[in-house]
Copies of this chain bind each other. A is one copy, B any other.
Amino acid sequence: MQRLATVIRIKPEKIEEYKRLHADAWPGVLRALQRANVRNYSIYLRDNTLFGYMEYTGEDFEADMARVAEDEETQRWWQLTDPCQLPVDSANPGEWWARMEEVFHMD
């Protein structure tokens, strides 16, 4: 199992919409994530910043994420959620959620 944390900004005027969407996330979106071997996935908010934490149980994260990106319901979901978000200033070109570095872990 691999732990992954990511960060992105949220537009202040979109916070309520983002929270409403995620309080009742679409079953098809969740199924696509489950199929992609994502587990124990949480998103946290403070100060117009979103942190994502997930556990990945598969063997090829890039391939699994590519399958998620091909899912039509997920694409429709992202049409709603992407306008809520802005990459952090340090994100690479084309990077959306930006990977964080794990500096500590205790089981």
Residues of chain B within 8 A of A23, CB atoms compared: 103-104
Interface size class of A (residues with CB under 8 A): 35 or more
**Min CB–CB distance A92 → chain B (angstroms):** 12
Query: Does the CB pair B22–A104 fall under 8 Å?
Result: yes
Residues of chain B within 8 A of A50, CB atoms compared: 103
Q: Which residue of B lies closest to A30 (CB)?
A: B106
**Min CB–CB distance A15 → chain B (angstroms):** 9
How many angstroms between the C-alpha atoms of A19 and B22 in the bound complex?
33
Does any Cβ of B come within 8 Å of A69's Cβ?
Answer: no
Query: Does the CB pair B98–A46 fall under 8 Å?
Result: yes
Residues of chain B within 8 A of A98, CB atoms compared: 46
Please list the residues of chain A having a beta carbon within 8 angstroms of any beta carbon in chain B: 3, 5, 7, 18-19, 22-23, 25, 30, 33-34, 38-47, 49-51, 53, 88-90, 98-107
